[in-house]
Structure 1
Amino acid sequence: MTYFDNATTHGHLVSFDIETVPDRELIPNHPKDKFPPQPITHRVVAISLVEAKIVRRADRTERYIVNCCRTGGRADWDEKRLLAGFWQYFANSHARVVTWNGKGFDLPVLRSRAMIHGISAAPWFTSGTRWESYTQRYSPDWHCDLMEQLSDYRSCASMSMEDVAVALGLPGKVGGHGSLVEEMIEQGGTDQVRAYCESDTLNLFAVYARWALLTGRTDADGYNASIESLVRCLEAERETRPHFGEFLDRWRSADRPMPMFLPAVEVISEMGPVITSGAVV
């Protein structure tokens, strides 16, 4: 038996990211070049996600088969409608949640802004048990905040997702930067913000797959199958969603220490090298 034999059996994995702008009704004079320190003063303008089915094998390893990458609602939806749609989706999905600094930013924003608008987020607080739940900090099979995981719960310096993504050969930021979101929104670039947010979730999903390999939640074959499913999603929609094609092309052409797919692994034994897994072609 492994540690993961006791993991909660969520059926889906959702890696998501949000984009926000300062709520100018609450902080009208806040400098544009400063990040508002209070989560409740951030107005949500985009919520993007990559949704994947969690497939478990007999040996308890997982693989993550991507269903879609999308942004909630439409570009003309206001914050209240975006939040209502997100929390309704979350209530129905019972998903494992993956974020980057989600415990420090994304979820505090989504919860406090829902409170402003009188929207219930009850499943976030009522699901699971005392020790296994979305609100339990040390329960990454419910909410996996990758920034916390890679810093061992802030025992060492935290890294940015951009730094980790680039180190792994991923494109990193595509089509924008968080500091530019308010300006893009003011100029009518909501669709641009939504595309940028989706690109962040693509990085996030790929980083999670590599972390799952690191921690034994998946193996090389499972990792390759997960990445292959993401590539299929990007290829299928690159014509209608150009940022998908840009993300994929930059990923494929990156000068990185490891290829997109993991190569065959040699295990040295008394009988000599044995090939245990290979890349997905």
Structure 2
Amino acid sequence: MRLICVLDIESVPNLALIAKHCPECVADDPLQTCEAFFKWCEDKHKSTFPPLFFHQIVSIASVLAEPGGSFKRVGNFGKGGNTERSLVADFLAFFNKYQPQLVTFNGRVFDLPLLMLKALAYNLDAHAFYAQESKWENYRYRYSEEFHTDLLDSLTHFGPAKGLSLDGVCGVCGLPGKYDVSGDEVYKLYYQDPPQLERINSYCQSDVLNTYWLYLKYLLAQGKLSEEHYLTILHGFKSNLPEQSYTSVFSQAVEAELSQEIQKEDHV
């Protein structure tokens, strides 16, 4: 069975590409450049979210879990430094070596295509992603959850249901969700002087923690995880959280979930 890797990336607009493709957006201040660029995107593409190639990766976080779901650790990639190339190279080295089961929220549409685009840009080896054991068993096959579970895909029944967001699903399920920073604020943190990289990394970690916990609930709903095992995993999850800005938020949410389950048992 595969190690589980719950993955999330954070990105900002690439100022060099903005200068190349829409020089009219360039201002003296990076934040003003980004804001003008978002308006350009809305006018040109009917969305403030930039096309994929304009994104610069600034953080890659993951939760690593045992094949049965037990929490191991949470952290960020980028042992070689904070450059985009270092972040992507570190992740791909891990990915090629361990070939884990990936878990994401919208990763099939954004995170993985962007990572593979960066592999092309930096001439990096991403062979594990493209390996194909069979037509149905590989990371690129949409319905192969043993290789990649994109929870947005799974929870929307691969398309028919619309309008789900990670924060919205977390709210329904009693998970912390976006409690401090949201994805559309990351560029403001990055283009401050100095860049707030630790805060971005902490936010990225909080996103993968939400996604990991949501995945446990998904396994529970599928009958692949017993309620008893789920509660045991939550105890271990809470005990092994690192000291970060999100620690108390997640600890309190876990305590609330455990207390709710105890109350259910008392009424049986």
State the TM-score, normalized to the length of structure 2.
0.83
Is this contact kept in 2: 1:224–1:261, CA < 8 A? no
Q: Following TM superposition, by how much is the alpha carbon of 1:166 offset from its aligned partner in structure 2, in angstroms?
A: 1.3
State whether structure 2 residue 26 is matched by structure 1 residue 19.
Answer: no
Which whole-Å CA distance do the structure 1 matches of 2:240 and 2:85 have between them?
29
Q: Return the letter of the residue paired with 1:217.
A: K
Change (3 A) 1:189 1:221: same
Write out per-residue CA displacement over residues 65-97 of structure 1, whole angstroms, 9 at most, x where no aligned residue: 111000112695100011000000111122110
Please give the residue correspondences for 1:59-138 in structure 2 after superposition, counting only pairs within 5 Å.
63-73=68-78, 76-138=81-143
Q: Percent identity?
A: 26
Equivalent pairs, count: 243
State whether structure 2 residue 251 is matched by structure 1 residue 248.
Answer: yes
Is this contact kept in 2: 1:114–1:120, CA < 8 A? yes
Q: CA RMSD in A?
A: 2.3
Q: Following TM superposition, by how much is the alpha carbon of 1:36 offset from its aligned partner in structure 2, in angstroms?
A: 3.8
Change (3 A) 1:209 1:37: same
Q: Could you say which structure has the higher helix fraction?
A: 2
Is this contact kept in 2: 1:174–1:199, CA < 8 A? no
State which of 9, 16, 32 in structure 1 corresponds to 2:35.
32
Which whole-Å CA distance do the structure 2 matches of 1:191 and 1:85 have between them?
18
Q: Following TM superposition, by how much is the alpha carbon of 1:64 offset from its aligned partner in structure 2, in angstroms?
A: 1.1
Structure 1, unpaired ranges of 5+: 1-8, 55-62, 267-274, 276-281
Is this contact kept in 2: 1:46–1:71, CA < 8 A? yes
> Which secondary structure state, in structure 2, belongs to the residue aligned with residue 27 of structure 1?
helix
State the TM-score, normalized to the length of structure 1.
0.79
Q: Following TM superposition, by how much is the alpha carbon of 1:260 offset from its aligned partner in structure 2, in angstroms?
A: 6.2
1:209 equivalent in structure 2: 216
2:43 equivalent in structure 1: none
Which whole-Å CA distance do the structure 1 matches of 2:198 and 2:80 have between them?
6
Which whole-Å CA distance do the structure 1 matches of 2:58 and 2:123 have between them?
18
2:205 equivalent in structure 1: 198
Write out per-residue CA displacement over residues 232-271 of structure 1, whole angstroms, 9 at most, x where no aligned residue: 112xx33xx232233323x1576xxx656744988xxxxx
Which whole-Å CA distance do the structure 2 matches of 1:260 and 1:204 have between them?
21
Is this contact kept in 2: 1:75–1:190, CA < 8 A? no
Is this contact kept in 1: 2:56–2:84, CA < 8 A? yes
Is this contact kept in 2: 1:98–1:146, CA < 8 A? yes
Is this contact kept in 2: 1:175–1:195, CA < 8 A? no
Which whole-Å CA distance do the structure 2 matches of 1:265 and 1:253 have between them?
14
Which whole-Å CA distance do the structure 2 matches of 1:246 and 1:264 have between them?
21
Is this contact kept in 2: 1:22–1:36, CA < 8 A? no
